[in-house]
Structure 1
Amino acid sequence: MRRLVGAVGGAVAVAVAGCVAGLLCLGPAAARPEATAPAAATGPATTAGTDDAGRAPGAGVRAGAGDTVGAARRRTEAFPGDPAAWSGLARAAIEQARTTLDAGPLDTADRALRRSLALDGDANYAAVTGQGMLANARHEFAAAREHGVRGTRMAPDRPDAYAVLADAEIQLGHYPQARAAVQRLLDIAPASAAYSRAAYDLETHGRPGDAAIALRRAVDSAATPDERAFAEARLGDLLGSGGDPDAAERHYRRALDAAPAHPYAQAGIARVAAARGRTEEARARYAELVARTPLPQFLLEAVELRRASGDPGRGGEGAALAAQVRLARADGGPVDPHLALYAADHGDPGVAVELMRREWAHTRSVIVADALGWALHRAGRDAEALPYAVRAAGTGWRNVMFRYHRGVIEQELGRPEAARHLREAAALNPYYSPPAPHRADRNG
C-alpha cells in the first residue's frame, strides 16, 4: 500500500545541506539562544507533515499546550497594553495548533497579533515573525515569505524570521532560497529546529545519509520532548523510506517514549506492522489513530491498507476522506495532496486534477508537483502529467512514490526510461506497494 513505510509525505520543515559534503557546515549542537518556533500548524485539510502541508519540527501532541495558552492569556489580562504579551499569546496559540493538529487556535493567534501590532506597529519583531508563522500555518506562503523577509531585515541576527522564510520558500518551490535561509538559521541558532529543517532539505536533495546525521543532531539538541519526538519520528520515516522497518520502528518507539501521543510516530508503528504483514495489528492501530486524529495522510494509509489486505470497501476512513474532498472543493482553501491522491486513486480523478491545479497556483513544491502529475495520469492525461512528474524529480529526492509515479506515466507514454524508473522504485524500498489497481503496471 502506498506510503506504508514508503515515501515521506513531505514536511514543511525545510533545510540545508552538507554534514558530509559541505554544502552547509553543520556545526556542533548548541543550546539555542532564542526559541525558533516552527512555522507550520495543521488543520482539517492540512497534514502536519507531510504532508505537503507541513510537519514542522516538533510537531506532535503535548498535554501542556493548553496550559501555555492559558498562561499567555493571563499575561495579556495583567498587561493589556504590552505588545509582547499579545505576541506571546499568538505564539502559544500557534504552538497549540501545531502540537494538537487542530487549526482552531489559529484564530486566537490572528486576533492576538492584530492587537500586538496595534500597540506597536513599528519595531515589533515578535509580531512580524508571528504573522509569518501564522501565514505558513494557513498555507499563505507568499505572505509568509513577505513577513519572513521583513523580519530578517528588522533583525538579521535573530533566528525566528529565517525559520519562517525557509518554511515559506520550500513550499513555494524556491529551494535555493530555502537553503540559504536555513544556512543562516544554522549559523545563528544551531539547534533542533534548524537541524530538522536541514535534514529535510538534505533528504529532498537525495542525501539521506546526511539527513540522518542532521536528524541525530536534532535529537541531541532537542530542548523539549516534542522536539525530540519529532526528530526521532523523522528518523523513523527516513529509515523506513529506505526499506529498513526494524530501524524505523526503533526510532518511532523512541519518539513515543518522548511524547506518548505523537501521531506521526503512532502512524509509523502502524506502517511497520503493515510492512511486516501484521495486517490486523496495523488496522487496529490506524483505527485508533484516525479516531483521534483524522488527518488525510493517516486516513489514506488506512484505506490503502484495507485495499492491500483484500477488503474492497473504503470503510469509515474512505467516507471521511470523501467528506474532506467535498469540503476542500467547497471552501477554496489549501489542499492537502493526500486528498488529491485519494480522489485520484479511489474517487474521481477529475476532482483530483481540479484540486491540485488550484493548489499549484499557490504552492510549487515537489510534493505538489508529484500529486498533480499523478492526478493528471489517473485522469488519462499522461502527456500533461509527465512534466510535473519530471519536476517532482528535479531536486534528486530518492522518493519511491515519486519514482513509481513517473515510471507509470512514462510507461503509458511508451517512454523507454519507464522500466528503469520502475526498477529504481522497487530497489529504493522493497516494502513499497502501490494501490491494488496499479500493481499490474508496476510488474508489467
Structure 2
Amino acid sequence: MRRLITAVGAAVAVAGCVAGLLHLGPDTSRPQAAAAPAGAYSSGISPVDAARRKAEAYPDDPAAWAGLARAEIEQARTTLDAGRLGAADKALRRSLALDATDNYGAVTGQGLLANARHEFAQGREYGLHATRMAPDRPDGYAVLADAEIQLGNYPQARAAVQKMLDIAPATAAYSRAAYDLETGGRPEDAAIALQRAVDSAVTQDERAFTEARLGDLAWSRGEVDQAERHYGRALAAVPDHPYGQAGIARVAAARGHTGRALELYARLVERTPMPQFLLETLELRRAAGDARQGSERAALSAQVRMVRADGGPVDPHLILFAADHGDPKVAVELARREWEHARSVIVADALGWALHRAGQNTEALVYARRAATTGWKSALLRYHRGSIERALAMPEGSRHLSEAVALNPHLSLYRPDGDG
C-alpha cells in the first residue's frame, strides 16, 4: 500500500537537496511544543524556546537535550541561520554525556548536524547506526537518505526514503520523495508528492516549505502563474519565508516588473544574504542593464574569500558566481574541494560549469554528463551541458540549449551575458 516509489500517480518516491542541506525538507520529528503552527503557539513560545525550557527543567534528561539540539537544527533550516548549529552541537554533547550507550535521539541529532555541516560521509554513518538501533523508527532513515543523496548514492537514498514512507508517510518523507522524482525526470509525480507533503503538514513552517517547493517546481517548468500561487501560499503561512519571497521576486521579473523584483530582492538579501539570493539579484541586475551590482558582488566575493580561507562547505551558488563573475580558476578550486565531500548532480553540474568557464571543456563534459545521469529536466543543467557541448563543436549542444529554453524561457533573466 505504501509502495510509492514504483507506482506513478498513487506513487511517490525519494529525496534530495536542491541547493544545500537546508533545502532538503522538514525534520522527521519535533519537540512536543512544536506541534502548533509556527507563529501561532498558544503560549507564544517558539519550539526552540520550549525545548530549551524543558532541558533547563530536566537537566539530567538526555532526551531533553537531544530534543533541544533537534529544535536548533530545525530552526537553522527554517531561518537559514547556520549559527544555530553550534548550539545544537553543545546540546548533543550534553545529551551524550548523560547517556552514551542507548541514545537514539542524540545519534540521529548527530547525523542531522553532520549533514548540515556537509560532513556527509559521517552523516551516513550516524544514519546507519540509528537505523540499526531502531529499524522501525523513521528519523534514522531521514538522516541516511539526506547523506546518501549528497554522496550521489541515489538508489540507496531511494531505499531509505521508501522506509520512511512505509513507517511514517508524512511531510518529511513526502518532501524528500518529491526531489527524487524531480531529479529523476518526473516533475508531475514530484508535484503529487509535494501536495501530499502540504496536506500532511503539521506546522506553518512545514506548510511554507512545501508550498515554496511547489512554487520552485512550477517555476522550473516555466509555469509562472502556478508558481506565484504556491509562493503566495508559502508567504501566507510564514510571511517572511525567504524562499517564498525569492519566488515572488522571480515571478515579478518574469512578468517584466524588473524594478519591483529588484526591490523585493533588495529586502530579501538585506535580511538573508544567502549566495542563491545574492546571485539571482546580481544576474537580474545584469540582465536589466542595471549598473548597481556592487553590493551583491561585494557580498558574494567576501563569501568566496571566507570559504576559501576556512575550508568549510561550499555552496554551489558560490561556485557559479566565481565561474561567471569572478575567477573561474577559483571556481574550479572550490568545486573540486566540494566534490571531495558531496557528489550530487548539483555539485557535478557546478564543477562542470566551472571547468567550462576555465576553458577545460573536455573535462567539463564529463561532469555535465554526470549531472545528467538521473534524467532531471532542469533548464539550468541543460543550458550548462549545451554550452559545454557547443564549445566542443558537438551537434548535441544546440539541442540541449533549445531544450533549456523550452523548459523554462525565463532562465535568461538569471544568466550572465556572453555565454549560451
> Once the 2 structures are TM-superposed, how far is the Cα of residue 22 of structure 1 from its aligned partner?
7.2
Cα distance between partner residues in 2 of 1:24 and 1:312: 45
Name the structure 1 match of 2:318.
339
Separation in structure 1 between the aligned mates of residue 254 and residue 232 of structure 2, nearest angstrom: 16
Q: Is the 8 A contact 2:73 2:84 kept in 1?
A: yes
Higher relative contact order (CA 8 A, sep 6+): 1
| TM-score computed with the length of structure 2 as normaliser | 0.92
Q: Distance in 2 between matches of 1:188 and 1:312?
A: 53
How far apart in 2 are the matches of 1:207 and 1:284? 34
TM-score by length of 1: 0.87
Structure 1 residues 115 and 426: CA distance shift in structure 2, 3 A: same
Conservation of the 8 A alpha-carbon contact between 1:191 and 1:218: yes
Opposite residue 137 of structure 1, the aligned amino acid is: A
Q: SS at the partner of 1:397?
A: coil
2:298 paired with 1:330: no
Letter in 2 for 1:338: H
Structure 1 unaligned regions, length at least 5: 1-15, 27-37, 41-48
* Whole-angstrom distance in 1 between the partners of 2:285 and 2:45: 35
Cα distance, 1:427 vs. partner?
1.1
**How far did 1:205 drift?**
0.3
Give 1:17's aligned residue. 5
- Which residue pairs with 2:30 in the alignment? none
| Farther off after superposition, 68-77 or 294-303 | 68-77
Give me the whole-angstrom Cα distance separating, in 2, the residues matched to 1:62 and 1:380. Answer: 48
Where does residue 101 of structure 1 map in the other structure?
80
> Per-residue displacement from partner, 1:140-168 (whole Å, max 9, x unpaired)?
11111000000000000001001111111
Q: In 2, distance between residues paired with 1:216 and 1:405?
A: 30
**1:170 maps to which residue?**
149
Find 2:278's aligned residue among 295, 299, 323.
Answer: 299
Q: What is the alpha-carbon root mean square deviation over aligned residues? A: 2.0
The DSSP-based 3-state class of the residue aligned with 1:432 is helix
Amino acid of the residue matched to residue 183 of structure 2?
A: T
Matches within 5 A, 1:260-279: 260-279=239-258
Percent identity at matched positions?
68
Provide the C-alpha distance between the structure 2 equivalents of 1:382 and 1:54, rounded to a whole number of angstroms: 31
TM-aligned CA deviation for residue 88 of structure 1: 1.2
Q: 2:100 aligns with which of 111, 117, 121?
A: 121
1:355 to 322, 334, 338: 334
Q: Equivalents in 2 of 1:66, 1:290: separation in Å?
A: 27
Aligned ranges 1:36-55 → 2 under 5 Å: 50-55=18-23
For the residue of structure 1 that corresponds to 2:417, the secondary structure is helix
Q: Secondary structure at 1:391's aligned position in 2?
A: helix
Aligned-residue offset at 1:56? 2.7
Separation of aligned partners in 2, 1:231 and 1:348: 36
Q: In the alignment, which residue of structure 2 is the partner of 1:56?
A: 24
8 Å CA contact retained: 2:232, 2:244:
yes
Matches for 1:185-264 after TM superposition, within 5 Å:
185-264=164-243
- Give the distance between the partners of 1:67 and 1:240, measured in 2 at CA: 32
Alignment check: 8 A CA contact 2:194 2:214 kept: yes
**Contact 1:404 / 1:421 at 8 angstroms: preserved in 2?**
yes
Aligned to 1:43: none
Shift, 1:121, TM fit: 1.2
Do 2:12 and 2:190's aligned partners in 1 also have CA atoms closer than 8 Å?
no
SS in 2 for 1:380: coil
Distance 1:69 1:273 in 2: 35
Distance 1:80 1:325, change over 3 A: same
The one of 397, 401, 415 aligned to 1:422? 401
Contact 2:12 2:178 in 1 (8 A): no
| Deviation at residue 215 of structure 1 after TM alignment | 0.6
Task: Report the alpha carbon displacement of residue 299 of structure 1 after superposing the two structures with TM.
Answer: 0.2
- The answer to whether the Cα contact below 8 Å between 1:66 and 1:96 also exists between their aligned partners in 2 is no
Preserved CA contact (<8 Å) 2:38 2:203 = no
